[in-house]
């Protein structure tokens, strides 16, 4: 009877809301000394190489009213689809936003990471993952050096 109760408690459906837009809780920033178009192409390829599927691209001004940039500044945000990593009794859902902004001497790239792990009564949110983000930034750098 105890095993049956434990199985019922640990099984079931969990609805997890994964945000499309990630606020700047712990952004990773890097400047690349390449044109905006080259950096955008490298970022798209780097995300694909690292297993992230792009769901949408948009102007960041739609989501961030506090960012003050001139109207002629090129900028874009890349949204990825959520990835699921299964655990024993749960799963972790991860997503990434990549912001690109044209700078005087290159392109500023900002990567924001978010993960949600559903728990019994509450979801655990995390906004840092150095290894995932560094792989993306390093791959962009490699692609721009070619």
Burial tier of 101 (Cβ tally within 10 Å: 0-12, 13-18, 19+):
buried
Nearest 5°: the CA angle 41, 109, 132 is 90
Among residues of the chain, what percentage have pLDDT more than 70?
Answer: 87
Dist. CA 131–CA 42, nearest whole Å: 19
Dist. CA 117–CA 91, nearest whole Å: 6
How many domains, in total, are found in the chain? 1
In this structure, the number of other CB atoms found within 10 A of the CB of residue 92 comes to 16
In this structure, the number of other CB atoms found within 10 A of the CB of residue 2 comes to 6
Q: How far is CA 28 from CA 25, 107, 118, in A?
A: 10, 14, 25
* 87: three-class secondary structure by DSSP: coil
Domain membership flag for residue 18: no
* Total-model pTM: 0.83
CATH number at residue 53: 3.30.530.50
pLDDT tens digits, 33-90: 999 999 999 999 999 999 999 999 999 888 877 565 676 789 999 999 999 888 777 7
Domain membership flag for residue 32: yes
Domain membership flag for residue 73: yes
């Amino acid at each position: 009877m105890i095993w049956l109760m434990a199985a019922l408690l640990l099984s079931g459906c969990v609805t997890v809301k994964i945000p499309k837009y990630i606020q700047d809780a712990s952004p990773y920033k890097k400047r690349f000394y390449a044109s905006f178009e080259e950096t955008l192409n490298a970022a798209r390829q780097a995300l694909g190489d690292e297993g992230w599927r792009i769901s949408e691209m948009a102007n960041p001004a739609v989501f961030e009213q506090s960012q003050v940039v001139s109207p002629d500044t090129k900028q874009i945000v890349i949204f990825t689809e959520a990835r699921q990593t299964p655990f024993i009794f749960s799963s972790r859902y991860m997503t990434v936003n990549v912001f690109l902004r044209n700078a005087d001497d290159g392109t500023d790239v900002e990567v924001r990471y978010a993960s949600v792990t559903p728990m019994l009564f509450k979801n655990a949110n995390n906004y840092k993952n150095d290894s995932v983000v560094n792989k993306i930034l390093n791959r962009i750098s490699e692609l721009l050096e070619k």
